[in-house]
Amino acid sequence: MAEPAIELIGIDKRFGAVRANKAIDLTVERGTIHGIIGENGAGKSTLMSIIYGFYQADSGEIRVGGKKVEITDPNAAIAAGIGMVHQHFMLVHNFTVVENVMLGAEQSPLLRAGIGKVRAELKRLEEDHGLDVDPDAVIEDLAVGRQQRVEILKALYRGADILILDEPTGVLTPSEADHLFEVLQQLRAEGKTIILITHKLREIMAITDNVSVMRQGEMVATRKTSETSVAELAELMVGRRVLLTVDKGEARPSNVLLDVKGLTVKDGRGVTMVDDVSFSVRAGEIVGIAGVAGNGQSELLEALSGIRRAEAGQISICGREIDPTRETDPAEIRRIGCAHVPEDRHHMGLVLPFEENENSVLGYQDDKRFRKGVLLDQNAMRRDAREKIEAYDIRPPDCRLKTSNFSGGNQQKIVLAREMERDPDVLLIGQPTRGVDVGAIEFIHKRIVEMRDAGKAILLVSVELDEIRALSDRILVMFAGRIVGERGPDATEGDLGLLMAGVEETPEAAE
């Protein structure tokens, strides 16, 4: 048997306290399309950046064609025949296609000779692979699919035998994605090796020969695509975690407090992330939104909390109609009685260099309680912060400490305390226990259930399936921006996993 195209042995990588890759072993056979799947943050992109020399592994070995190689920088990777198509394109937006392709591979100090060669080569690649693109077009004028094609051409021009594509379809329309797959199959037919990183199971099943699954920095399994199933992969991806149990009584839902109709939201790139979504949440119930990360949950939460403008739809909170297609003031939404625990506490929930008590009133700093004329009433702020520290057991109990000095779990408690203690009628919670230790998880779950029992309407978004199942009274599954199914709290993991993977309900499943 021929030597594998690329082998990884015991690759380890840390970023500060986070171990992004844990002793990864991977073998990719020559002339195959090898898929690597895992949720966002599973460590896929880090691993590929190591292969491409953008990061260095802390330990481990890379072998290309059976020979050990030291990939210290992208040059070494290019020399070893490895090309990469980055998730965020590495293109110079105001350069032409030719200029982008030749950047770093100019051949001589003067450009003239190189330009001719690039043009000839682009023409050849166009004829061989149908990768047509106007060589003189400026990148920013090209559609995203075309830009990606330039990235592929860049790699091929440098003589790549092994092509790594990082989430290549995330930004593509379905027809662009189909065309990309045709190109990849053609490249495979010519003996090129392709590594495809994605979190979309459907793509894996459609195009790959082998598939490896990553979860929380570990390589958990490698399968032949023909011998596995979407259900198995979904389960491997999400993982069987220790079942969380939450003590909760029967839900007693009453009137509708949050009502969403036909909500459509696009992200910054113009890709539709939430597609005509309608649902409602009643007082006294927890509605969980399950889904693999990146299927529109984040954009849904942002639209509901007034952070992101929607394209279409209606939202009603506590009986008040809100037009989400207009610029809304998140403070206005808060005043109506809808609190929001953002998914990413560092990015949206907290200002890390602030003192704890400042973060504890963030967003409510205009409140009369915390004001003395035009100034902030620091004593009132600190008194309030100390009460919350006490109630939520935030450690260390020091309201003057810089927020960045608290652990992740305690930071999360600061956000939760701030939002929950406002006694909102509607509570939007994103990833309540991300990066939170087990003890704090239990506490946070208990508070969420208490809120429910106090008659609040709670919308819970989490990528932790166990969390969704443990807390929710109803589960909505989101896939590709749509709500593809609704289940009760007793739905099985396999059932939810299939929905999350976008597998339409089959007649057999309905039986």
Partner 1 sequence: MDLAFTLNLVESTIRLSTPLLFAALAGLYSERSGIFDISLEGKMLIAAFASASAAAVWGSAFLGLFVGILAATAFSLVHGLASITYRGNQIVSGVAINFIAAGLTIILGQSWFSQGGRTPSLFGGGRFTPIHLPGADAAESIPVIGPIYANVISGQTILVYVAFLMVPLTWWVLFRTRFGLRLRAVGENPAAVDTAGISVPWLRYRAVIICGILTGFAGTYLAVAQAAGFTRDMTAGKGYIALAALIFANWKPVPVMFACLLFGFLDAVSIRIQGVELPVVGEISVQFVQALPYVLTVVLLAGFVGKATPPKAGGVPYVKER
Among candidate residues 334, 294, 322, 326, the one with its CA nearest the CA of residue 309: 326
Among 10, 66, 104, 397, binds partner 1 (CB under 8 A): 104
Q: Quick one: which of 114, 217, 337, 349 contacts partner 1 (CB under 8 A)?
A: 114
- Which range binds partner 1 by CB under 8 A, 102-110, 123-131, 273-281, 282-290? 102-110
Report the DSSP pairing between strands 33-37 and 193-198: parallel
Task: Tell which one of 105, 220, 256, 376 touches partner 1 (CB under 8 A).
Answer: 105
Other beta carbons within 10 Å of 228: 18
Residue 147 host element (H or E) = helix 144-157
Which of the stretches 47-55, 233-241, 262-270, 302-310 binds partner 1 when contact is defined by CB under 8 A?
Answer: 47-55
Can residue 112 be called a binding residue for partner 1 (CB under 8 A)? yes
| Ramachandran category for residue 38: left, alpha or beta (phi over 0 → left; psi -120 to 50 → alpha) | left
Rule CB under 8 A: is residue 195 a binding residue for partner 1?
A: no
Token readout for 386 is 């100390």
User: Which positions from 62 to 101 touch partner 1 by CB under 8 A, shown as an x/- string?
Assistant: -----------xxx-xx-----x-x-x-xxxxxx---xx-
Whether the Cβ atoms of residue 196 and residue 219 lie closer than 8 Å to each other: no
Rule CB under 8 A: say whether 137 interacts with partner 1: no
Establish if 368 lies at the interface with partner 1 (CB under 8 A): no
Residue closest to 459 by CA, chosen among 450, 447, 446, 471: 471
Give 270's DSSP letter. S
| Residue (89 or 279) nearer to partner 1, CB | 89
Smaller CB separation from partner 1, 95 or 181: 95
According to DSSP, residue 502 is labeled: T
Q: How many residues bind partner 1 (CB under 8 A)?
A: 31
Binding of residue 108 to partner 1 (CB under 8 A): yes
- Between 52 and 370, name the residue whose CB sits nearer to partner 1: 52
Q: 45 and 197 in contact (C-beta within 8 Å)?
A: yes
Which of these ranges, 51-59, 178-186, 264-272, 360-368, lies near partner 1 under the rule CB under 8 A? 51-59
Name the DSSP letter for residue 96: B
* DSSP letter (8 states) at residue 345: I
Contact between 477 and 290 (Cβ < 8 Å): yes
Q: How many residues does the chain have?
A: 511
Phi first, then psi, for residue 80 (nearest 5°) are: -85, 0
* b/e sequence 145-168, b meaning 16+ C-beta within 10 Å: bbbbbbbbbbbbbbebbbbbbbbb
User: Which of 61, 106, 275, 311: binder of partner 1 (CB under 8 A)?
Assistant: 106
Nearer to partner 1 by Cβ, of 107 and 365: the residue is 107
* Binding window for partner 1 (CB under 8 A); candidates: 104-112, 128-136, 239-247, 296-304: 104-112
Choose which of 9, 111, 244, 362 interacts with partner 1 (CB under 8 A).
Answer: 111
Nearer to partner 1, 21 or 228 (CB): 21
196 counts as binding partner 1 under rule CB under 8 A: no
Is 56 one of the binding residues for partner 1 (CB under 8 A)? no
**Is residue 17 involved in binding partner 1 (CB under 8 A)?**
no
Residue whose entry in the numeric block shows the structure tokens 């995203």: 144
Token readout for 492 is: 């099985």
CA–CA distance, 265 with 263 (Å, rounded to integer): 7
Note the residues at the interface with partner 1 (CB under 8 A). Answer: 15, 52, 54-55, 73-75, 77-78, 84, 86, 88, 90-95, 99-100, 102-106, 108-112, 114
